[in-house]
């Protein structure tokens, strides 16, 4: 079997790290304060985060979706403010998102190879890995996956087709991504019935009009068919409700198909390059338990807001020890009301998100109520209801440009 080599290629024992619990979030009070989180979001380098998770999750994860940088040698800024709408550039600014720049292809492979190896260790015996790439590096990565999983564990090369404008004039427009799929063993999860799609109209008409079509083999037209290995889903465009402003965000429909096909309700599933959080959001909605990680603070913030908005289940937010969250020196003040609710005094600087721990225990921030700026809105609510009467209030907020502010603790007199 051909094996890809390059001078620095090696697989050493990965570095490990300490993970700090930054907060437990109960989206809009759901499950507060007793329900244990089934979902975990990590800020950190996935090499050390995955390595730290081996002790607890080795051989436990049924599905890993990996959407790493593609070796494009570009950087991808994020749109902040009302970043969702391309038609209104005056409403947003650019901020650092993530960088996909490498000195050489070797450097990129040095980055990906040990991470793919760790993903394989984390997969359960029935587990599947989907690696999302494009023409830049998919050929090399396929060889790495053949080596790590065995070429016989290759399941599919899925081609995701989309369309959109392109500046290319001297080649065909490059409008597909490649998703390489490998399974840990022969006994992998694949729920064909969960992802069936209707037969196309021409096929239906052919079978309905002629009993001899298909040489006697009549497909179950009502049940639909298992999709081919090429999928069309539109990219997340400027007017789509799901658009977050985070670069290279993938469509929910694409991830839904992957999750339905290759995991089961209550499966543990993971995305260690989670970006804007599409995968954990869709997976949690489908009743899966999720792990998600990103090394970009902005990605983790966007994911957190998406989970708070779209999920009614608690999740834990962890930070790798050597990563810090940018802090703002500005201060916040607020008023408590009998309702009980909490109202923030006119927010300056502009805020994107704030949350309240109404019973701060001095150790773990338990976020029981949150407010966020909804997509395509410039303002966020300044008053939020609390799920219980507050005792010791602590407040955190994130400014539009990504800095965290935290109040001291206030003993409640209500």
Ligand X SMILES: C[S@@+](CC[C@H](N)C(=O)[O-])C[C@H]1O[C@@H](n2cnc3c(N)ncnc32)[C@H](O)[C@@H]1O
Between 145 and 236, name the residue whose CB sits nearer to ligand X: 236
Beta-carbon contacts of 303 under 8 Å, excluding residues fewer than 6 positions away, are 41, 274, 275, 276, 277, 280, 281, 292, 294
Return d(Cα 251, Cα 260) in angstroms, integer.
15
Strands 176-183 and 19-25: unpaired
Question: How many residues sit in the footprint of ligand X (CB under 6 A)?
Answer: 20
List beta partners, residue 182: 129, 154
Between 259 and 344, name the residue whose CB sits nearer to ligand X: 259
Return d(Cα 147, Cα 138) in angstroms, integer.
14
293 binds ligand X (CB under 6 A): yes
317 binds ligand X (CB under 6 A): no
Return d(Cα 268, Cα 284) in angstroms, integer.
10
46 binds ligand X (CB under 6 A): yes
267 binds ligand X (CB under 6 A): no
Strands 268-271 and 289-294: parallel
Binding test (CB under 6 A) with ligand X, winner from 183, 248, 263, 370: 248
Return d(Cα 16, Cα 322) in angstroms, integer.
11
User: Cβ(142)–Cβ(214) under 8 Å?
Assistant: no
Q: Is the peptide bond before 412 cis (omega within 30 degrees of 0)?
A: no
At closest approach, how far in Å is the CB of 269 from ligand X?
Answer: 13
Tokens (6 digits) for 299 = 């990605």
Stretch that binds ligand X, among 55-63, 64-72, 142-150, 378-386 (CB under 6 A): 64-72
* CA proximity to 310, closest of 290, 292, 288, 284: 284
At closest approach, how far in Å is the CB of 193 from ligand X?
Answer: 26
373 binds ligand X (CB under 6 A): no
Between 60 and 276, name the residue whose CB sits nearer to ligand X: 276
Binding test (CB under 6 A) with ligand X, winner from 256, 294, 320, 355: 294
How many CB atoms lie under 10 A from the CB of residue 216? 7
Between 68 and 127, name the residue whose CB sits nearer to ligand X: 68
Between 46 and 124, name the residue whose CB sits nearer to ligand X: 46
At closest approach, how far in Å is the CB of 202 from ligand X?
Answer: 33
Stretch that binds ligand X, among 65-73, 170-178, 217-225, 283-291 (CB under 6 A): 65-73
Between 24 and 296, name the residue whose CB sits nearer to ligand X: 296
At closest approach, how far in Å is the CB of 96 from ligand X?
Answer: 10
**Exposed / middle / buried, residue 225 (Cβ in 10 Å: 0-12, 13-18, 19+):** middle
Residue 25: C-alpha distances to residues 22, 300, 305, 312 (Å): 10, 13, 10, 10
How many CB atoms lie under 10 A from the CB of residue 115? 20
Residue 101: C-alpha distances to residues 32, 69, 108, 112 (Å): 42, 9, 9, 13
296 binds ligand X (CB under 6 A): yes
Stretch that binds ligand X, among 151-159, 247-255, 312-320, 348-356 (CB under 6 A): 247-255
CA angle at residue 269 from 268 to 273, to 5 degrees? 145
Binding test (CB under 6 A) with ligand X, winner from 17, 138, 263, 276: 276
Q: Which residue is nearest to ligand X (CB)?
A: 275
Strands 392-399 and 410-411: antiparallel
Binding test (CB under 6 A) with ligand X, winner from 130, 182, 188, 246: 246
Beta strands in 350-403 (DSSP E): 351-357, 365-367, 369-372, 383-385, 392-399
User: Cβ(376)–Cβ(92) under 8 Å?
Assistant: no
299 binds ligand X (CB under 6 A): yes
249 binds ligand X (CB under 6 A): yes
At closest approach, how far in Å is the CB of 390 from ligand X?
Answer: 35
At closest approach, how far in Å is the CB of 100 from ligand X?
Answer: 8
Between 71 and 272, name the residue whose CB sits nearer to ligand X: 272
53 binds ligand X (CB under 6 A): no
Binding test (CB under 6 A) with ligand X, winner from 278, 290, 313, 370: 278
Restricting to residues 98-157, which ones interact with ligand X according to CB under 6 A? Answer: 98
Give the SS3 label for residue 283. Answer: helix
67 binds ligand X (CB under 6 A): yes
Between 45 and 355, name the residue whose CB sits nearer to ligand X: 45
45 binds ligand X (CB under 6 A): yes
43 binds ligand X (CB under 6 A): no
Contacting residues toward ligand X, per CB under 6 A: 45-46, 67-69, 98, 246, 248-250, 272-273, 275-276, 278, 293-296, 299
């Amino acid at each position: 079997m051909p094996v890809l080599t390059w001078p620095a290629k090696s697989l050493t024992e990965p570095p490990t790290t300490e993970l700090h619990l930054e907060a437990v979030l109960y989206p809009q009070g759901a499950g507060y304060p007793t329900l244990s989180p089934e979902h975990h979001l990590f800020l950190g380098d996935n090499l050390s985060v995955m390595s730290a998770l081996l002790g607890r999750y080795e051989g436990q994860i049924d599905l890993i979706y990996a959407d790493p940088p593609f070796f494009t040698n570009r950087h991808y800024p994020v749109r902040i403010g009302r970043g969702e709408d391309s038609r209104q550039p005056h409403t947003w600014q650019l901020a650092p998102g993530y960088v996909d720049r490498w000195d050489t292809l070797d450097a990129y492979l040095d980055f990906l190879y040990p991470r793919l190896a760790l993903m394989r260790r984390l997969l359960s015996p029935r587990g599947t890995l989907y690696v999302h790439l494009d023409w830049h590096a998919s050929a090399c990565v396929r060889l790495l996956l053949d080596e790590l999983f065995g070429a016989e564990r290759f399941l599919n090369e899925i081609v995701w087709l989309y369309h959109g404008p392109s500046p290319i004039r001297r080649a065909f427009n490059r409008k597909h991504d490649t998703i390489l799929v490998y399974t840990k063993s022969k006994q992998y999860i694949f729920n064909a019935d969960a992802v069936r799609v209707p037969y196309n109209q021409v096929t239906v008409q052919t079978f309905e009009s002629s009993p001899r079509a298909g040489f006697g083999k009549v497909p179950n037209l009502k049940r639909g068919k298992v999709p081919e290995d090429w999928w069309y889903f539109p990219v997340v465009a400027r007017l789509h409700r799901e658009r977050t402003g985070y670069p290279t965000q993938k469509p929910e429909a694409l991830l839904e198909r992957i999750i339905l096909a290759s995991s089961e309700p209550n499966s543990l599933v993971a995305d260690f390059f989670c970006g804007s959080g599409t995968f954990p959001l869709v997976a949690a909605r489908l009743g899966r338990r999720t792990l998600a990680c990103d090394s970009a603070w902005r990605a983790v913030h966007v994911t957190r807001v998406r989970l708070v908005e779209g999920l009614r289940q608690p999740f834990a937010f962890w930070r790798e020890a050597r990563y810090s969250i940018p802090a703002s020196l500005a201060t916040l003040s607020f008023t408590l009301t009998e309702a009980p609710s909490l109202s923030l005094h006119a927010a300056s600087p502009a805020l994107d998100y704030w949350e309240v721990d109404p019973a701060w225990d001095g150790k773990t921030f338990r976020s029981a109520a949150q407010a966020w700026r909804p997509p395509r809105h410039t303002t966020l609510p300044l008053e939020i209801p609390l799920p219980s009467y507050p005792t010791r209030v602590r407040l955190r907020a994130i400014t539009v440009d990504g800095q965290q502010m935290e109040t001291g603790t206030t003993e409640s007199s209500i």
